[in-house]
Chains A and B, each alone.
Chain A
Amino acid sequence: MNQCNYSKGQLSVLVTLRVLIGWYFLYEGLVKLLSPRWTAYGYLMDSKGVFAPLYKMIAGNPDLMAAADFINMWGLLLVGLFLIMGLFEKTGYIGAILFLVLYYLSHPPLLQATYLLPTEGSYLWVDKNLVMLGAVAVLFFFPTAKKIGMDRIICKNKSK
């Protein structure tokens, strides 16, 4: 894997973007962790589009629902930590992409879809999940954690 040689400016904005997205994930995970009995049930039941039956099936099964809640809570938290700390960077990006794809497919901004929760913006086909997905994809191909991040230590240790 090649880490490109970035200019100082490039490195700064890429690391900043990584940390910002990490922050977003980490806080989402923390909020869920700190809310007693938080559950994604309502969100899943409000799914629209072709995959809606799948999400509703998960919500309808208490075991799957418990698993989905657990994965969401701890997954978001871990992805957030990885991105901020620059630890297991690629794993973090893949996790982030998985979550964002799942969220996008659950609540796609379709022509006809209206959701229980009002959005803070206006969307058609493209929403903020998709935009963030694009940003994470960019980071995936322009990694930074071996320059600024704990992967630097891992990388050094391994290369010794």
Chain B
Amino acid sequence: MNEKDSNPTEKKDNQENADQKPVSHGRREAIKALATVPVLGAMAYGVYRKRKQEMRNLTSADMFHFKSEVAPLSPLSADGRIIRLGIIGSGIRGKQLMIALGFGTPEYVERLIQGQKQNSSDNRFKDFREQEDLKIVITAICDIFDVHAEEAISAGANIHREGLNGKYGTAPRRYHHYRELLAAEDVDAVVIASPDHWHGQMALDAARAGKHVYLEKPMTWTVPETYALRSAVKESGIIFQLGHQNRQVEAYGRAREIVAKGLLGPVSLIETGTNRNDPNGAWVYKIHPDASPETIDWQQFEGDPERVKEYMDYMTSSGLAKYVGPEPRDKFSLERFFRWRCWWDYSTGLSGDLLTHEYDAMNQIMHLGIPSSATSSGGVYFFRDGRTVPDVLQTAFEYAHKGLTMLYSATLASQFNRSRKIMGHDATMEVGNTLTVTIDPRSEQYRDKINNGTIKPGQPFYHYVPGKSIDAVTSATELYFAERGLLYSYVDGKRYNTTYLHLREWLECIRNGEQPSCDIDRGFEEAITAHMGTRAYLEGRTMYWDPEKEEITRG
């Protein structure tokens, strides 16, 4: 500030003041200079009061105190040997799995590159390129549709993740029958993404051939093969992972802790479901223009004779012939080849495709195991396109020994969002990518805190947001962003694809000889549970589980 900047009038005033009242002048100056500073004190007091109140409200931090943060991704083992993979089935899901492993066709990568060029905030190409190298090589491919096989070969050779006209590596060898692939010496492990009716048999043959297995869900198509597969996996000692990638959802780990600590009180009801509303979601997939009897090995598609016999024996002996076909199994059909999920002849319906994911999520959190009984209802109500599997399904699984019911409710003709709820006597937890716990107004465990006003029942009391260390989200803003996945993807530094994490876990277990999270025992529980639901629907009566004999019975 220059001399000339000061106000001459003020200066004169000050001069006069100084002459007249030298003592009070300084005080007045100080008052004028510091007049607004007490405002800071007011704010400090306000912030102190507010924090104190928040701390009282945030007893969730005490009550929901957890020892550890969910473990971050551990690095790949240093001495990681290269694992040679065979891919069996490279249709829609098979290609997704290859992409998760880091192998996309040049056409796919080119689309990502163009996407980034058109929209700089489209990070898919960058993410794909930067995805960690899992130290694998794809040496073998088997698909019975030539186009899918060729695509998988070009993806397998695209080792540098390049677009069109890039530099590619050695192309994997194509096998026309999966058993030839399983006999190949340069295959250590297989990823199986075939239609449901082949799952159990292919995994069984792979285990017998000593190949490690990553198998898409559901684990099996028939009940008998479920037992056979479990034995084969255990006897062979291979590393088996069932493709429930939701095992990798970070929030589920914390949800498990909340249940284990009894914070929900006794749980009596679990509600899960599926809502979809488009033809693709209802399995009306596109039919490839190049598909024909010449490009598809229909005979292999029909299935393993032994498994087909098991299926037919069950269907005919239980009076379910109306659900078989309706077309003969040996008749070539493009619809049945591409939309096989719509017919029991190849499919496990909603139970196998989508109920299994919901069940496995709850099995992770609640350690449910196999239910004591299952009852189902539903029908083909919307997609009346000749399918035999229902598009609306309700299944109630009773866990009589645990005193709870798990309800699964699905429609393929409404996309309304319903959250998964675990309902306890003291609180209810909604489970998604985030967790929300709401205290019950009639809770006994929290009665004191409800009475003294610390807990407002009926309102969300605790939120868990993956990647955040605090156990209570402090503002509505955070919750908004978190629920939309905007918060944790940053804290993690990267947005991880759960399928990638699930495959990674399996590969690491192969290297370390450990068991992955969705091993054969969890797979057995998943398969039997789904079969109980399916049979209850088909037969129109309750199915029971005899844990001693390990058998599904009709009571």
Contact = CB atoms under 8 A, between A and B. Distances in A.
A85 B486 contact: no
B132 interface: no
Nearest to B6: A159
A35 interface: yes
A33 B474 CA distance: 13
A148 interface: yes
Interface in A49-95: 52-53, 56-57, 59-60, 62, 65, 81, 84-86
A19 B9 contact: no
B6 A37 contact: no
A148 B257 CA distance: 57
Contacts of A34: 47, 51
Contact of B491 (A1, A37, A52): A37
A154 B33 CA distance: 9
Interface string A21-41: 011001100100011110101
B34 A37 contact: no
A46 B481 contact: yes
B36 interface: yes
B476 to A, nearest CB: 8
Contact of B43 (A23, A42, A45): A23
Contact of A42 (B2, B9, B120, B477): B477
B475 interface: yes
Given A19-B36, A84-B40, A150-B34, A41 B1 contact: no
B34 A117 contact: no
B486 A62 contact: no
A137 interface: no
B38 to A, nearest CB: 10
A42 B481 contact: yes
Contact of B1 (A23, A46, A159): A159
Nearest to B3: A159
A26 B480 CA distance: 24
Contacts of B487: 39, 41-42
Contacts of A150: 33-34, 37
A37 B469 contact: yes
Contacts of B470: 36-37
Nearest to B11: A159
Contact of A41 (B37, B120, B123, B486): B486
A5 B316 CA distance: 101
A96 to B, nearest CB: 16
B475 A35 contact: yes
Contact of B36 (A59, A84, A117, A155): A84
Given A42-B480, A116-B480, A62 B47 contact: no
A148 B47 contact: no
Contacts of A159: 1, 3, 6
Nearest to A35: B474
Interface in B1-57: 1-3, 5-7, 9, 29, 32-37, 39-40, 43, 47, 51
A42 B486 contact: yes
B487 to A, nearest CB: 5
Contacts of B490: 39, 41-42, 45, 59, 62, 65
Contacts of A52: 121
B486 A46 contact: yes
Contacts of B468: 37
A52 B120 CA distance: 11
Contact of A116 (B9, B37, B123, B481): B481
Contacts of B51: 34
Interface string B467-485: 0111000111110111010
Contact of A53 (B2, B29, B120, B482): B120
A86 B477 CA distance: 31
Contact of A147 (B3, B5, B32, B474): B32
Nearest to B483: A116
A122 B102 CA distance: 46
B39 A117 contact: no
Given A5-B7, A85-B36, 19 more contacts: A5-B9, A19-B36, A22-B39, A27-B47, A35-B474, A42-B477, A42-B480, A53-B120, A56-B121, A57-B121, A59-B490, A85-B40, A86-B33, A86-B36, A117-B477, A149-B33, A150-B34, A152-B29, A152-B33
Interface of A: 1-3, 5, 15, 18-19, 22-23, 26-27, 30, 34-37, 39, 41-43, 45-46, 52-53, 56-57, 59-60, 62, 65, 81, 84-86, 116-117, 146-150, 152-156, 158-159
Question: Which 3 pairs of residues, A with B, have the shortest CB-CB distance?
Answer: A42-B481, A41-B490, A42-B486
19 contacts: A1-B1, A2-B5, A27-B43, A30-B47, A35-B475, A36-B469, A43-B477, A43-B481, A46-B486, A57-B121, A60-B123, A65-B490, A146-B6, A147-B32, A148-B32, A149-B35, A153-B29, A153-B33, A159-B3
